[in-house]
Structure 1
């Protein structure tokens, strides 16, 4: 009864709210408590586009004074929303797939509610909600739909009033707008200068590890990013690997131990399929590893080598919760392209360095083998020379050695004027001995004489 009463009084409460932020908070908080909803997103229709104005996510209320384009918001699955928008009626879908969290497992039994807010002649807005207990909505569905029809006119009038007020303020604040733009341009130029400084430093990295480390550290320091991490991809293995990143406290940490299959998630798929594009999702779960540590905007910038994606840069606003400006998006896009180039250059350099080391090792191996072959050849030549000076049967010097030695000693004796002596041995009756006892005994006889003469 209390829940029915809360819904019946909601229209009157909304009519008394002073501004859109309070109006949205009253609407979402009441529906969240009454219908036991976990997440709620409130969208308005503006010039044919659906834009997110407020959300209730993990018990946190967020209001966006400048509504976000629906495709930049992490919570609403487009496939169901567009169908409900086309049909113009409420829809409840049971779907276990994760459209928000990258690492969370599917939630079986999760109901998704899409509720249009429309007047008799046009759609004004939508409510998208998720719940694990759809019974309260089922019981009160007609009352909820009647309530949304009842508040549609109030919402339409408030949006029109806000549009007129915005237009009026815009006309009155041209000078202020110019000042803001000049300040914005100054910030952009400062970021460009910082990016140039970062790029120059990265080009001097001595190896890939230093490149990854410096990229995260300098990217955060000079590009005004809370947290940053660099992941590498191997699509043949469907694998992503960590390099360096930022922990929840903002410290630079090595993440080389982190590896996982590449998540099949809309954010990841969009980022890895588009060149020169920064994919940003608001109201997104923020992670350290696979553990969720907060909620905020999450950005991904893919890095490319030609048509091959080699990894991505991840960034978020976990620590300071600052908004991401259009200028920062552009700087992140340029940063991702520059870092991708440096990774490719460094990989090619290290590959060339490794090839040179392998070539040098191969040359050294061939040189060593050639030296060994030359030494073996020299040894063989010496052995052949020695054998050419020896008698094959007796092992003593032969006639060739005698002729060479005689010539050398003769010249030496002549030069010194000294006498030269020579001893000759003759074996008597050797032929008769050889003929009588055979060649084998004759050879043995010569060997014994040679041995005795040494």
Structure 2
């Protein structure tokens, strides 16, 4: 404590109730010209003139003892030089020490003005420091709020690829944050003409909407930007021309270096270009380009309409960053649309491919059917019969079940063709095929045209007796057709001779073993007089 008071700019004196000096700080020792050793333990009277001694004992100390403190008491001290020094005294009693002490702060009158000036300077410096701290705190708050706004808009961009939704939320949040009178987004048309429309907007009180305004009028707000910013940077205007100006000349108070109007791409009639801001009572504005790659897709407008507004650098930086985020949303949405278009094209191509494959499958099935079908009778042909015989032979060999083959042809068919003609002969073969197909009702049974007027039937899981019954049924069904055959020696109608073979497949035989046997049986039927069924026998 004493060390701190020794470094104080004012004098510091500690007395007990008897007036004995307990401590004198370095500042007061310098003022009085005494040393600590000279004064410590002495009565205070040694540094007080006679009048001051009387005043101390009769007024100052009694007042200090009664109230516990004294303020701004005028007194004189006598230094070692003998020239009295007028001072101001502030004091208080210290009850926390034993014994109780009286602490006095002594300021020479001649130093009072200097101290007051220093106090005022210190107070002003403190106020400046407090103000700077408040501004720094406010800047941090604004920076945090800006980061929060950017994060919210960025989150909306990540959560949605719908530009209408993104822009609607963005203009509302920007308008609320900047307290601007109008925040709007303009999109250029996809055409070589300089035209477009406003697609999103957020308004303050009593501000005209751009969405419902005439399209021709609002386009001048966009061409106004093009007339002044050819480099694609943000346009900052804190003071637009007076609304009453008719010559269209523009005055700026911009934080950005504006493009020289003589070198800009401004329309020839500058008054028309200025018409947009004047028409919508815009006094201050920020215009930031929204980019799609290197192309200007549209514009972000920040308008102040009620009064001019000097745009702060942090506000300009914020709008520039937000425009960058919205440009990113535009690029993402464009990429998404491209991907959707590619996906639709891929789906269309896949659908076409599926259709082509289906057509190919149908065509292939039709070709296979044509390859396996007899063109005249529309039943299976010899090729299809061979494949089916191999399949049934292998299956019945595993199951050790009987397989029967019926081989038949038309009796005296050459004479029939010679008598009735080949067309009628073809019709006769078709009728025989249909009649035979109706007899073999099981799905596993298989009828094929074997060649010329020869037909063959596969009867899986059918023993000899069953095969003979089916063969006889087929022969009678053809007779029942009553197809005239006046040149046949055996009957007046078309008849069949049928050979039948039945066996259980073994490894010693081949699939054509029963066919060969049926052919031999057919030969035996013909030798026996035709129009009959003949089973094979060794």
Instruction: Provide TM-score, normalisation by structure 2.
Output: 0.42
**Larger Rg belongs to:** 2
Instruction: Provide TM-score, normalisation by structure 1.
Output: 0.49
Higher relative contact order, chain-length normalized (CA < 8 Å, sep 6+): 1
